A = this chain, B = another copy of it.
Amino acid sequence: MATVDIREVGPRDGLQSEDPVAVEDRVRLIEALMDAGVCHVEACSFVSPKAVPAMAGAAEVMASVDRRPGVTFTALVPNVKGASMALEASVDELTVTISASPAYNEKNVRMTVEESLVQVAEICELAAAVPVDAVVSCAFGSPYEGDTDPAAAHDLGRRLLDAGASALTYADTTGVGTPRRVEDLLAWTGTGVGLHLHDTRGTALVNAYAALRAGVRRFDTAVGGLGGSPFAADAGGNLATEDLVHLLDDLGEESGVDLGRLLEASALVGSLVGHPVPSKVAAAGPRGRRAS
């Protein structure tokens, strides 16, 4: 029984800033991740292929992938049109993003935060029984306004729940979070939230550790530590799934993910994107490795 829910966002956040990977290869990656025990995966985003070319073919990904029982398939949707397409593709969960940084929100989706909130409400109404996880980006700060006040991030979260969101995830989009700031935010939000951490400044794992200690049980991670925002130049990669699993295994926490099989998926994604992945566990191998 898993004690920690890993939502694997590699097929979406991990690939969105890379050169486009073919639909069949993205499907192959998702299946390799499921082979490793991943049971929650953000498979794609229903965005304009003009805006994010690497995410073209979301419906094809959902139609082709083996929908294994017990696996939750999530799609990121930027608007009602995207939500409608995602629901047509029978996803199990939607994610929507809204930023605690007004400037980032306007650059990212060309809407004010208020406009985004209205849109989230419309998406939630459309989604009906399909859960909508609202991801609060720049939850710790942004390159525009600097530090985010945790009370303000929490307030935005409450408004998202009021708008119909079924769950909240707080994202450290540009990697400005720290263990202390994670604790500060959790003091407002409680620990029943997800965290989506980026490793821009090498702090993703220590932030996850601080959150785990505080009681957080939901994390977004990307295989290989790939990732970054097409709209934030220095977003940096996501917390690598293998780095978190490596830590969880040692802590005796159960994620359901087999590290050895996961490293096979990590090698696959490295070959698909054509460059080494950032994860150091992927490069060095897990801690049990012996000299040959």
Contacts and interface: CB of A to CB of B under 8 A. Distances in A.
Contact of A291 (B143, B175, B287): B143
Q: Which of A141, A251, A290 has the most CB of B within 10 A?
A: A290
Contacts of A209: 179, 206, 209-210
A246 interface: yes
A290 B201 contact: no
A68 to B, nearest CB: 30
A117 interface: no
Interface stretch (A23-31, A120-128, A278-286): A278-286
Nearest to A292: B143
Interface string A261-292: 00000000000000000011100111111110
A280 B200 contact: yes
Contact of A202 (B179, B210, B281): B281
Contact of A284 (B146, B200, B287): B200
Copies of this chain in the oligomer: 2
Contacts of A236: 280, 284
Given A146-B288, A290-B146, A280 B178 contact: no
A144 B247 CA distance: 22
Contact of A180 (B240, B251, B290): B251
A201 B281 contact: yes
A137 to B, nearest CB: 15
18 contacts: A143-B290, A146-B288, A146-B290, A175-B280, A175-B284, A176-B287, A178-B247, A178-B250, A178-B287, A201-B243, A201-B246, A201-B280, A201-B284, A202-B279, A202-B280, A203-B205, A206-B247, A209-B209
Those 7 A-B pairs whose CB atoms lie nearest each other, nearest first: A202-B280, A143-B291, A176-B287, A178-B250, A206-B206, A200-B284, A206-B209
